[in-house]
Homo-oligomer: A and B are copies of this chain.
Amino acid sequence: MARIKTDKNISRKDVIVTKAAALFREKGFKAASMRDLAEAVGVEAASLYNHIKSKTELLHELCFSVANRFMHKIDEIEAEPISSIQKVEKLLRFHIEEMINHYEEVYVSDREWKHLADPYLSNFQNQRRIYRKRFAAIIETGIRNKEIKKIDAPTAVLIMLHAISGIESWHRSTQKISAEELEENMITILVGGLVNR
């Protein structure tokens, strides 16, 4: 009986969650079966249930761990004594780096949250809405300070967030520019589109 290998401080559940992220990213939550996941983990499907409660639990874990990271970051940035445009840039860089370094989780959280079941679904949607409002509020402050162009802030947020989710294509592309170049290019275009001059 081949057990799931674990290093210290990594539970078997963590291994499963990580493999699930990769699988859900590749196939989509609905199309990925527990048997697929079991194979990826190196175990029979039924064995997974010694470590997790259900398939949807895996999605919860992924979605909320990502959401929490972003929530903490915006808490942090809001409190800093810097200009609005600097706050926007910091937040964007965080998004970009998260997308680069935790691709699978972030991607899944972004695209597959629809398959959450209530009450998790409403909860997640709420957090998302609040996050976007806080992001928009930063932009609106910037507009009032004349740091940022007169634009519709929610639209700007929507553009930023979705633009970043496009890093998906970068991950898949064969001739990648470096992560640093990618980040600088994105910041140039996105922040360049906002600043008032």
Contacts and interface: CB of A to CB of B under 8 A. Distances in A.
Interface stretch (A10-18, A41-49, A158-166): A158-166
Contacts of A165: 162
Q: How large is the interface on A (under 10, 10 to 19, 20 to 34, 35 or more residues)?
A: 35 or more
Copies of this chain assembled into the complex:
2
Contacts of A27: 114
Contact of A154 (B30, B155, B161, B173): B173
18 contacts: A27-B114, A28-B30, A149-B189, A151-B185, A151-B188, A152-B185, A155-B177, A155-B182, A155-B186, A155-B189, A156-B185, A156-B189, A158-B166, A158-B167, A159-B166, A159-B186, A160-B163, A163-B163
Interface of A: 27-28, 30-31, 111, 114-115, 149, 151-152, 154-156, 158-167, 169-170, 173, 177, 181-182, 185-186, 188-194, 197
Top 7 A-B pairs ranked by shortest CB distance? A193-B193, A162-B166, A30-B30, A189-B193, A158-B166, A192-B193, A163-B163
